[in-house]
Structure 1
């Protein structure tokens, strides 16, 4: 199986079929877990599957992006009160090694009833295109993250995006460069200044580039899981899931 097929098989066994026996051979026994609430190791996930079934959680996968040994799923979980809210939008990231799933990261956020742009946190294009431009698009987005979000050279923002064409799915930010800059200013006024923004995982496939970043915002640790869509050499669309990093976890692996 390809990494994408392997991950989708594990995900179906765990969250759709609720079948630990089907999931077990797809997992490395030393499966490294970064979800703060689930113990590390394959058994930690296998033990959670019956609890998922009992809770009535359902999942919709909107996008699947894969590069090398990494696979990213853009998901919505319903009936997810056991994980903190009735509905949660998530990015799940898996790493495959030697034909089994070896590691998992995720970020979850409850979507609001209304958003500034009028879009949801998950709607929009899903088709992976421009496979031949994967490396080019990856370099573009990483440059944007380092220069603009990381603060290395924010004046270069128009090298990465058209100020008028930036379709936004973050629920509290409006479209375009103007919307992004206004949100950054508003966050600063609220004491939510970002003083660290360091990419930890980058996965690109064609027109989609995913970046998971370790951040400090308002003096506290946060995780930013962002997905960008690139078209004709410019970033044109953005989705994200943002969550604080808890101080206590069910393992010693950390968020990243």
Structure 2
């Protein structure tokens, strides 16, 4: 398999996972696409196992049903896929920008990293290093 074919295959795995989740709301459809030793990493240095992450996604969908996902970029190199998306709740609900990084191993998702930023707060985050007004 060429590097280009591998990247295309890895992107298709992520697209299938996202479609299974967003289109159907069926969290259990994600499980076969994840390795048993899957780890989800958060920016605060916490991580969750496959079962913990699936439970968290299941709980979030109670509040996020009908969420619209617009993929801005989907890039693959080696065993990693990066997806930049904008997501919003139905009816002009709050929007977020999300960057997901996925690592693929033997055709399954082995690890995921996720950064989420509320779009309405993006301007304030441009100067994160400045001290807050007191």
The 1:48–1:13 alpha-carbon spacing in structure 2 relative to 1, beyond 3 Å, is farther
Listed as ranges, the matches of 1:164-243 within 5 Å are 171=123, 192=129
Gaps of at least 5 residues in structure 1 are 114-169, 173-182, 194-217, 219-256
State the SS of the aligned residue for 1:60: strand
**Structure 1: 4+ residue segments shifted above 6 A:** none
- The answer to whether the aligner puts 1:34 opposite 2:47 as a matched pair is no
Structure 2 residue ranges without an equivalent (≥5): 1-7
Aligned partner of 2:56 in structure 1 is 48
Aligned partner of 2:27 in structure 1 is 20
**Structure ranking higher on relative contact order (CA contacts 8 Å, 6+ apart):** 2
Following superposition, the deviation at residue 21 of structure 1 comes to 2.8
Matches within 5 A, 1:1-256: 2-35=9-42, 40-55=48-63, 56=65, 57-79=67-89, 86-112=94-120, 171=123, 192=129
Task: Report the TM-score, using the length of structure 2 for normalisation.
Answer: 0.71
**Deviation, structure 1 residue 171:** 4.5
Structure number, greater radius of gyration: 1
- Under a length normalisation based on structure 1, what TM-score does the superposition of the two structures give? 0.40
Residue correspondences, number: 118
- The separation in 1 between residues aligned to 2:96 and 2:9, in whole angstroms, is 28
Closer, same or farther: CA 12–48 of 1 in aligned 2, 3 Å:
farther
8 Å CA contact 1:91–1:108 kept in 2: the answer is: yes
More helix per residue: 2
